[in-house]
Amino acid sequence: MKRTLARLAFLIAIPFATWGHIGASTVFYHGNAGPYAIDVIVRPPGVVPGRAEVTVRVESPDVGRVTVQPVRWDAGTKGAPAPDLAQPVRGDATLRSAELWLMDFGSYSIHVAVEGTSGSGKAVVPVMSVATRRLGIDRGLGVLFAGLGLLLFVGALTILGAAAREAVLPPGEVPDAARRARGRRVIAGSALVLALVLAGGRAWWNSVDARYRANMFRPLHITTGVRSVASQRVLHLAIDDPRWLAQEPGRNRFSPLVPDHGKLMHMFLVREPALDAFAHLHPLRLDPNTFDVRLPPLPAGRYVVYADVTHESGYAQTLTDRVDVPEAPSTAAPGAAPEPDPDDSFHVAAALGGAASPAAPLADGIVMVWQQQEVVAGQPASLTFQVRGSDGRPAALEPYMGMLGHMAVRRDDGSVFAHIHPAGSFSMAARQVLERGADATTKPVDHSEHAAVAGGTVSFPFEFPQDGRYRLWVQVKVGDRILTAAFDADVAPKR
């Protein structure tokens, strides 16, 4: 019955965001647990408490048991329930699945343990437990509830009327006019009382709903602005959310920020509506609430700001705002602009729709080719790109902030934004925080210790949450230069 009801009930889509994600909550993990290469997909429930769907793919044939365990950041494995056995999925020998209950709001990690003849290993996958959706009542369910409610209401009145009219009459005695009138009076009075009870119930339901909505995930509010400093444009970002500013001792909802690959904030700028100009910047923290960053030579216009941050708890979120970027100043204003971060980068391409080619020129004859397959909404896919040098041979990729590549994805209307690594769609800082004391023998694919990777290929695990037109920016490092390619994708509807 639950399945039917779940199907009956439809979701009211509400824009939401978790780390690196607007509108895409599925978490991907590509890496290994001890000797086993694994791919993990976690679909968070969208309600708290709720059940997350976890699938684990282990290609190795000598795997015995795979278990999954939800661990809340502040309770650790000591406070975690016993691990659940992930059950093999019929028809696919490499796939296992399990349902896990996330009972509380906040930062969780899923511990995936793999045992087999090659030994055992454990991976830690960060997951944010947040309420992101609100369920409506569809017509069928509404009619069912209304019908049963009416039956109970009328039934209760009729029973109360009958009780008042003749319950105390000796058996066989027919109620006289006075008793019948009494029955009618009781029905009228009870109708009034029951209506009041129902009104109270409605108010109660509304208050539960309001409390739920207040607890739904909202990223911290930020305000951004651009000012001229020296001959530069400087973007200023202030976290001005009361939930962040009014931190009560012992009751902090948000722990301080921690660096992700040495940066407290990874900021993406995308010019609207053409999605032609793009930047990946690393603002400098001035104090716990404010950040500054020197803008690269981007064209003027209205930009969306996506700022990825990770908290000490492992909780990660994407803060967003819109900002008007003016033309670069022609005269030098007083002051000194902050130095740009060496990992900052930007890219200007054709407007959305103009980058449909699977081959994007980078620089000096270097080309990135999207080994494109058909992309369908709601289906996990590995998006693979190959970088070729001017000689047509695969280029050697160098790690860019610890990763072989970075990909940003945005739907044309802004309802989806995601920042993905080859290792998956979670914050690497969150993983590091959550792995502490987790006894993990894990390693998501992390190329920071590699000098360079030959083959020139980089893949990103991702699932487009809905159909439509998307722009993808793929960033790699070749010859100590950060190179960005833009691609457009038309994602087919779910089958």
Residue 253 binds another protein, judged by CB under 8 A: no
Minimum distance of another protein from residue 170's CB (angstroms): 6
> Of 61, 79, 242, 249, which lies in the binding site for another protein, with binding defined by CB under 8 A?
79
Site string for another protein, 374-413 (x = CB under 8 A): ----------------------------------------
State which residue, 174 or 178, has the beta carbon closest to another protein: 174
Out of 93, 135, 188, 286, the residue judged to bind another protein by CB under 8 A: 135
One-letter amino acid at 262 equals G
Instruction: Please state the closest distance from residue 80 (CB atom) to another protein, in A.
Output: 4
Select from 62, 173, 176, 240 the one that contacts another protein (CB under 8 A): 173
95 to 134, contacts with another protein by CB under 8 A? 101, 103-104, 131, 134
Closest CA to 459 of 470, 444, 449: 444
Q: Residue count at the site for another protein (CB under 8 A)? A: 55
Element (H, E) at 294: strand 290-294
Of 155, 273, 326, 365, the residue at the interface with another protein (CB under 8 A) is 155
Distance of CA 405 to CAs 278, 408, 446, 448, Å?
A: 16, 10, 10, 11
Asked if 113 contacts 120 with a C-beta cutoff of 8 angstroms, the reply is: yes
Using the rule CB under 8 A, which residue among 61, 91, 170, 392 binds another protein? 170
Nearest CA to 18 out of 56, 46, 40, 37 is that of: 46
Using CB under 8 A as the binding rule, whether residue 332 contacts another protein is answered as no
**384 within 8 A of 375, measured Cβ to Cβ:** no
Answer whether the bond into residue 61 is a cis peptide, omega within 30°.
no
The answer to the question of residue 144 lying near another protein (CB under 8 A) is yes
User: Shortest distance, CB of residue 68 to another protein, whole angstroms?
Assistant: 12
Q: Which is nearer to another protein, 162 or 348 (CB)?
A: 162
Q: Which is nearer to another protein, 108 or 291 (CB)?
A: 108
Q: Which of 37, 80, 328, 396 binds another protein (CB under 8 A)?
A: 80
Contact between residue 98 and residue 47 where contact means Cβ atoms under 8 Å apart? no
> Least distance in Å: CB of 162 to another protein?
4
What is the smallest separation between the CB atom of 145 and another protein, expressed in angstroms?
A: 7
Q: For 136, which DSSP code?
A: -
**What is the crossing angle of helices 139-166 and 177-215, to 10°?**
150
DSSP 173: P
Decide: is 2 part of the binding site for another protein (CB under 8 A): yes
Do 282 and 293 touch, CB atoms closer than 8 A?
Answer: yes
Is 167 near another protein (CB under 8 A)?
A: yes
Classify the C-alpha dihedral 438-440-446-451 as positive or negative: positive
Nearer to another protein, 207 or 448 (CB): 207
Candidates 23-31, 167-175, 269-277, 435-443; binding stretch for another protein (CB under 8 A): 167-175
Interacting residue with another protein among 30, 57, 111, 165 (CB under 8 A): 165
Query: For residue 199, how many C-alpha atoms fall within 13 Å in the half-sphere facing its CB?
Result: 6
**106 Rama sector, left if φ>0, alpha if ψ -120 to 50, beta otherwise:** left
Looking at the DSSP bridge assignments, the partners of residue 114 are 66, 121
For the chain, the 3-state helix, strand and coil shares in percent, each to the nearest 5, are 20, 45, 40
Please list every residue from 182 through 241 that binds another protein, using CB under 8 A: 201, 204-205, 208-209, 212
Cβ-Cβ contacts under 8 Å for 33 (sequence gap 6 or more) = 112, 113, 114, 121, 122, 123, 441, 442
**Eight-class DSSP state of 422:** T
Residues in 37-66 that interact with another protein by CB under 8 A = 47-50
> Does 151 participate in binding another protein (rule CB under 8 A)?
yes
Q: Which stretch binds another protein (CB under 8 A): 75-83, 222-230, 280-288, 359-367?
A: 75-83
Stretch that binds another protein, among 151-159, 235-243, 379-387, 457-465 (CB under 8 A): 151-159
Q: Which backbone phi and psi does 440 adopt, to 5 degrees?
A: -85, 145
Do the bridges between strand 50-58 and strand 417-420 make them parallel or antiparallel, or are there none, so unpaired? unpaired
Site for another protein in 268-297 (CB under 8 A): none
Please state, in angstroms and as integers, the Cα–Cα distance from residue 208 to each residue in 138, 198, 204, 217, following that order: 19, 15, 6, 16
CB of 201 to another protein, least distance (A): 6
Choose, by CB under 8 A, the member of 9, 195, 363, 454 that binds another protein. 9
**178 near another protein, rule: CB under 8 A:** no
Whether the CB-CB separation of 437 and 76 falls below 8 Å is answered with yes
Q: Which stretch binds another protein (CB under 8 A): 141-149, 347-355, 359-367, 376-384?
A: 141-149
Q: How far is the CB of 17 from another protein (least distance, A)?
A: 20
CB-nearer residue toward another protein: 109 or 228: 109
For residues 257 and 314, what is the distance between their CA atoms, to the nearest angstrom? 9
Q: Which residues bind another protein (CB under 8 A)?
A: 1-2, 5-6, 9, 47-50, 70-72, 74-75, 78-82, 101, 103-104, 131, 134-135, 137, 141, 144-145, 148-149, 151-152, 155-156, 158-159, 162-163, 165-174, 201, 204-205, 208-209, 212
